[in-house]
Amino acid sequence: MSTSDTPIIQTVGACQEYKLPRTSLFGQRPVLHALKEVDFYAMEGESVGIVGESGAGKSTLTRILVGMEKPTAGSFKFKDRDVWSSDEEFKHEFRRSVQMVLQNPRSSFDPRMTIAQSLLQPLKGLKIGGDHQARIHQVLDQVGLGKDSLKKYPYEFSGGQLQRVAIARALIPDPKILIADEPVSALDVSIQAQVLNLLNDLVKDLNLTLILITHDLSVVSYVTSRVAIMVDGKIVETGSPKSLFQNPQSAIAKSFVDSVLTVGKGIEGESLFENV
């Protein structure tokens, strides 16, 4: 597959404002500027990470990228076409091409549906033709689950397995872009590596564009090749994980890099096990 020079998904000067509840009887409702002129892009087949503290605007940016919210100013483009002013046919292609994996797989499945029913939903909702059963078997195979999972209910799975099912559900409409919002932070430590490896493999095999939202810098540098740091509704620094770690430019990037704890380092970054 050839990659063109134009990004597959892009926001240009995107702003998002939310009106807050009235604080007094008179005067305007206060406005929260959740995003302030954000320029974000991802090329085809690229893995991009978005890092930031809670309240930095990561989730707002994600909601714009999946088309759940229209930015109050600026534009949002998919394949170099503005999504919100395009025709229905293009919107349908967009919806099919951008899929999402959420943080907690336990709360992202309908507990009353079997996995087979859950996996059918995107195919039905997006009115995708073809052999549905064959497609479901194919994606289950891609995430390393057997056909016996289909009859089970979500509660019968462990967290790691259910996150695999969530990834399978995202892959079913054959998306171009996978957006993963903290995909491993709700999982057990010994399972996290499995899921991260799976994401890495899928991105390579299917030539997916991956947008990974997380607060964990180690995870982001393991999976992605470019990281954007968000603070206060703005992207303050972008770069490869390597350049970011070795030479952070902004103060906030420095504080992020400093805050990463590794086994063998003390709180102040001193080396703990000197005799080794």
Partner 1 sequence: MDNFALKVEDLVVYLDDLIAVRGVSFVINKGERWGLVGESGAGKSLTALAIMGLLQDGWKTSGAVLHDGMNLLQASDKTLSARRGRTMSMVFQDPTTALNPVAKVGKQITWILRHHMHVTQKDAYEQSLVLLNKMNLPRPESIMDSYPHQLSGGQRQRIMIAMALACYPELIIADEPTTALDVTVQKQVLRLLDAAVTERNCGLLLITHDLPVIAAMCENVAVMYGGRIVETGKISDVFTNPRHPYTKGLLASQPTLDNIDLDGGTRLPSIRGSVPPLYAMPDGCAFAERCDFATQKCKELPELDNQIQRVACWNPVAEARKGA
Residues in contact with partner 1 by CB under 8 A are: 53-54, 158-161, 188-194, 196-197, 200, 215-219, 221-222, 225, 240-242, 245, 255-256, 258-267, 272-273, 275-276
Q: Considering only CA atoms, which of 122, 142, 128 is closest in space to residue 206?
A: 142
Beta-strand pair 177-181/9-19: unpaired
For partner 1, give the closer residue by CB, 47 or 97. 47
CB of 205 to partner 1, least distance (A): 14
Residue 4: exposed, middle, or buried by beta-carbon count in 10 A (0-12, 13-18, 19+)? Answer: exposed
- What is the dihedral sign for C-alpha 200, 201, 203, 207? positive
CA distance 199 to 215: 17
Minimum distance between the CB of residue 214 and partner 1, rounded to whole angstroms?
10
- Give whichever of 172 and 230 is closer to partner 1, judged by the CB atom: 230
262 exposed, middle or buried (CB, 10 Å; 0-12, 13-18, 19+)? Answer: exposed
Q: What's the rounded Cα separation, in Å, for the pair 61 and 13?
A: 12
Is the CB of 4 or the CB of 247 nearer to partner 1?
A: 247
Pick between residue 130 and residue 146 the one whose CB is nearest to partner 1.
146
Query: In terms of CB distance, is 68 or 276 closer to partner 1?
Result: 276
CB 224 within 8 A of CB 212: yes
Q: CA nearest 195: which of 233, 151, 153, 157?
A: 157
Write down the least CB distance from residue 166 to partner 1, Å. 15
State the minimum distance, in angstroms, from the CB of residue 246 to partner 1: 8
Nearest distance from residue 36's CB to partner 1, in Å? 20
Give the tokens for residue 94.
Answer: 């967009």
Q: What burial class does residue 235 get, using C-beta atoms within 10 Å of its C-beta: 0-12 exposed, 13-18 middle, 19+ buried?
A: buried
Q: How far is the CB of 146 from partner 1 (least distance, A)?
A: 14
CA angle in degrees (0–180, nearest 5) for 115-149-98:
50
Identify which of residues 6 and 218 has a Cβ nearer to partner 1 in the complex: 218
CB of 184 to partner 1, least distance (A): 10
Q: Nearer to partner 1 by C-beta: 165 or 172? A: 165
